[in-house]
Amino acid sequence: MMNDLTHVIDQSKPSIARVYDYLLGGKDNFAVDRTIGDHFKENLPGSVAIATTNRQALVRAVRDLARDGLRQFVDLGSGLPTADNVHQVARRYAADAKVVYIDNDPIVLAHGRALLATDSNTTVFQADLRDPRTIREHREVAEMIDFDQPVAVIFSAVLHHLNDDEDPDAVVRYWSEQLSAGSMVYISHFRSGENRETIKAEEKLQSTFGRGRWRTDKEIEALFGDLDILEPGIVPCASWRPDLTVADEKSPGRALTVWERLIVTGLARKA
């Protein structure tokens, strides 16, 4: 599949989606992506927890949403397919769940199309997160999603790739305004940590991709606008509705690493 795409992909430039794929153990990446991933692995030891705990929190969120009756999901900036994609998790609890994936990376489109070729309740297409109206009015969204019914809109580790002048608040607000009562918005985001690790990781993101900004807890909370943030609030992904083992229940309150504290998440409902 990747060989068929080399004519449209600049292999000299790293891709956010492919770097994440590499950090999560995927195979759909190029040498330039692995170089960036190896920087985090080797020079910022422990930082891969940012990617892994973020993914684990997303899986728990989709599980809870499907259990609670959500049957429609729009995943913005979905990244490359991995184990436990949104549609796979949702359908463990709701066989009729419908999912739309959107990303701006052509590899995501190609791999998603191949994965979902025989799935009539899931689609993927390439679009720019910063142009929400075009996404909302896209034919495949109109065919798959009924916005008169509750929808879960997912921004998993994507809004921190938007600079302030690209107005991530307005992006979330647009989608919130499209949603009916009972709909949900899920956001995970890099969090400013006032420490050496945060500074180094943010510098690497900006120097590599020319964009991106860590935000404070207050700024991340503001992204939700007037939506009602549900328990446990905005907390590190590792602490968001964790699946506790017997050992955890006997010894709660494990101290998080500095890296685990640098990505937070929250889930909010439209009243």
The predicted structure's pLDDT at residue 127: 94
Highest mean pLDDT among 23-27, 78-82, 233-237: 233-237
In one-letter notation, the amino acid at residue 207 is: S
Residue 111: pLDDT band (50, 70, 90) is confident
Q: Cα–Cα distance between 100 and 135 in angstroms, integer?
A: 10
Query: Lowest mean pLDDT: which of 72-76, 83-87, 156-160, 221-225?
Result: 83-87
Show the tokens assigned to 28.
């759909």
What per-residue confidence (pLDDT) applies to 2?
A: 38
Mean pLDDT along residues 124-148: 95
Residue 249 has pLDDT above 60, yes or no: no
Q: How far apart are the first and last CA of the chain?
A: 43
Residue 245 pLDDT level (bands cut at 50, 70, 90)? low
Mean pLDDT to the nearest integer, 218-237: 97
User: pLDDT value at position 212?
Assistant: 82
Contact between 156 and 188 under an 8 Å Cβ cutoff? The reply is yes
Cβ distance 235 to 223 under 8 Å? Answer: no
pLDDT tens digits for range 52-84: 999 999 999 999 999 999 999 999 999 877 778
Could you check whether the bond before residue 232 is cis, i.e. omega within 30 degrees of 0?
Answer: yes
Q: In the chain, what are the domains?
A: 2-241+253-269 (3.40.50.150)
Express each pLDDT in 112-123 by its tens digit. 888 787 889 999
Cα-flanking dihedrals φ and ψ of residue 60, to 5°?
Answer: -65, -35
Residue 265 has pLDDT above 60, yes or no: yes
Which residue did the predictor score with more confidence, 195 or 50?
A: 50
- Write down the pLDDT at residue 9: 66
**Lowest model confidence (mean pLDDT) among 108-122, 134-148, 205-219, 240-254:** 240-254
pLDDT, the chain, mean = 88
Q: How far is the C-alpha of 78 from the C-alpha of 100, rounded, in Å? A: 9
Q: Residue 191, CB half-sphere, CA atoms under 13 Å: how many?
A: 22
The predicted model gives 16-23 an average pLDDT of 84
